[in-house]
Structure 1
Amino acid sequence: MICRRFFLSFAASLLALNPLSALAADIKHELGTTTVPDMPQRVVVLEFSFVDALAALGVVPVGIADDNKRENIIPAYATIFGENWKSVGTRKTPSLEVIASLQPDLIIADKTRHEAAYDTLSQIAPTIVLDSLGGDYHAAVDQMSVIGAALGQPGEAAQRVAEHKEKMAGYAQEISKVSEGVSAQFGVANAKGLWLHSPVSYNGSLLKMFGFSSTMTPSEGEVYETNYVPTTLEQLSVVNPDILILGKYVDPAFTDGWAGETLYEGLAAVKNDNVFYVTAHNWSRLRGLLAAELTAQDLLEIISETSAKK
């Protein structure tokens, strides 16, 4: 009896010293399983889709890989976060020193960008790794359950996803009135070239969900192993979508130089005045519930203009 009483007393004292350890959760992710403290308070996120996930749940991170540009945190996120976070550098090579200085209790990293740094990040704080850059829209939605569990908010994450799906179903109902039998293609351009987002990319899968078809198909024996495909004017003329949606990182962009060229002027989207410009950062870099809802709003404007031309 004395031994049992001593054991219970000793266990209680350990819980008092480190209450989070008793409530820790084992989170499965792309690179294994990580034990994360319950309700982490100091979270660092290294990709914009994870910024989106925290904003959707109303959680303010202490550190964000914002590519050294605070304006990359769009108003939809900034109104939730305020100024209570610090930049940890670029998404590709975030500053480990700055991350460590923030004393995080959770780091959320991307498989493509940060797999090589996983062990080092894990020495700083419990780290979970998800496939953001290589994932499609449906993967981004599914990742909310993992992030919600890691944040100690599984119920809140499930509720937010349910609300999102209901909202997206409403958008899809409206967009599908125009999208049936219509091909749409999204791409981004900088000063040096054009990159089309393939059917397996985040935006490609999102357009498909809204009922648009894709004429961007692989060659015989080829598989789209990359989401972002460098594309020449000749290749674009083969894709030849009914609606072309472009995001320009610079102005003028590489594609602006195509105006007047026969192949460009012969594109169905150009001939029918169905080339639309969207914010490249929002469409190309942001992924997640809020980002998808913003994309849907842009698409509603696009189909409204398209319908008005018929």
Structure 2
Amino acid sequence: MHRRSPLPLLLAALLGTHAAAAPVTVKHERGTLTLPAPAARVAALEYSFVDTLLALGVRPVGAALGTQGGDRGAPPYLRAQVRGIPATGSRAQPSLEALAAARPDLILADAFVHKDTSVQFARLAPTADFQSRRGSLADLNAQTLAIGQLVGREAAARRLLADQASLNAKARAFAKKGAPAFVAAVVTPGSFTVHTDQSFVGSFLEALGRKNQLAPRGDQTQYGLSLEGLVALNPASLVLFTAPDEKPITDTWKQSPLWQRLSAVQRGRVYVFDRDDWTRGRGPQALKLMVAQTIRSRFLQDAAPATGFGTP
């Protein structure tokens, strides 16, 4: 029996090893990061990074899933997927000890939340900082590609982005031409924070075909507003992101004649979404959920909110 020479197999193995170990370089908020090979053990300190890694088929070795400092924990759509991933503190208060124990070869940090602590992370492992909490849809899409490159799954990342672009295009077909501009805000029991056209959710809704009424205030893509300030804007459509287990400040505002004067209220165009899924996930999986809910809500059509998406 003729035996095949092991040389071709050996060469293929060597070439495959060489390709897998090729250095990877990406730009991030603190400069340029070069890894000698794609990262295999990644710690993620924001939910968007966790979402993106899981969408790419990479399970983090540690993630900021804790509830210290008032953090509400992982968004509902992610909770089943993150079971068993070691918690490395919360997003606001990462644990250096837990990070070190995870032995990551890459840490993904938030350029806004971790601006004062990122240097400490870099002492544990190479660290890439991205604008997640204060990023726009374009920023989040760019980091999906960068993370894909860092973990050696660039082709998969590009597929995710292409799928998202296709979904967005389909959603835009529902958008009513000439619909009035909207104001979007995250509402808690004590605050009303508007999200401009350069915020994540504000730019996302624009990408689906509706016009955001607000531009950033200086360098603030999100900022607080009073009821009087909202009345001064008088939006024709109002999009609110609330938590189902909280009593939002707008419940109190509804008792005021000022609230009743709002054009959006008079037109019946106040839409409500779960802020835990919408404003904290910010990854490819969250975006799919958001597109589906936006279409179902009837916001794009500038029609009265569908059941489950209007004010209680």
Normalised by the size of structure 1, how large is the TM-score?
0.83
SS in 2 for 1:251: coil
Deviations 1:189-211 (A, max 9, x none): 22212111122111111122122
Q: For the Cα contact (< 8 Å) 2:63–2:86, is it kept in 1?
A: yes
Aligned match of 2:310: none
Give the distance between the partners of 1:231 and 1:37, measured in 2 at CA: 47
Residues matched between the structures, number: 286
Q: For the Cα contact (< 8 Å) 2:43–2:99, is it kept in 1?
A: yes
Residue 213 of structure 2: which of 212, 215, 220 is its match? 215
Give the distance between the partners of 1:278 and 1:308, measured in 2 at CA: 14
Stretches of structure 1 lacking an aligned partner (at least 5 in a row): 1-14
**1:1-310 maps to which residues of 2 (within 5 A)?**
22-68=21-67, 72-74=73-75, 76-79=77-80, 81=81, 83-174=83-174, 176=175, 178=176, 180-216=178-214, 223-249=217-243, 251-303=246-298, 307=303
SS in 2 for 1:307: coil
Normalised by the size of structure 2, how large is the TM-score?
0.83
Stretches of structure 2 lacking an aligned partner (at least 5 in a row): 1-13, 306-312
* TM superposition shift of 1:41: 2.4
Q: For the Cα contact (< 8 Å) 1:62–1:102, is it kept in 2?
A: yes
- Change in Cα spacing, 1:90 to 1:173, as seen in structure 2 (3 Å) is same
* TM superposition shift of 1:25: 2.1
* TM superposition shift of 1:71: 7.6
SS in 2 for 1:226: coil
- Change in Cα spacing, 1:76 to 1:233, as seen in structure 2 (3 Å) is closer
Give the distance between the partners of 2:246 and 2:163, measured in 1 at CA: 37
Deviations 1:89-147 (A, max 9, x none): 12122111111111111111111122322222111111111111221001111111211
- Identity of paired residues, percent? 29
* TM superposition shift of 1:226: 1.1
- Change in Cα spacing, 1:121 to 1:208, as seen in structure 2 (3 Å) is same
Give the distance between the partners of 1:75 and 1:236, measured in 2 at CA: 29
Give the distance between the partners of 1:252 and 1:119, measured in 2 at CA: 38
- Change in Cα spacing, 1:224 to 1:202, as seen in structure 2 (3 Å) is farther
* TM superposition shift of 1:35: 2.8
Q: For the Cα contact (< 8 Å) 2:197–2:214, is it kept in 1?
A: yes
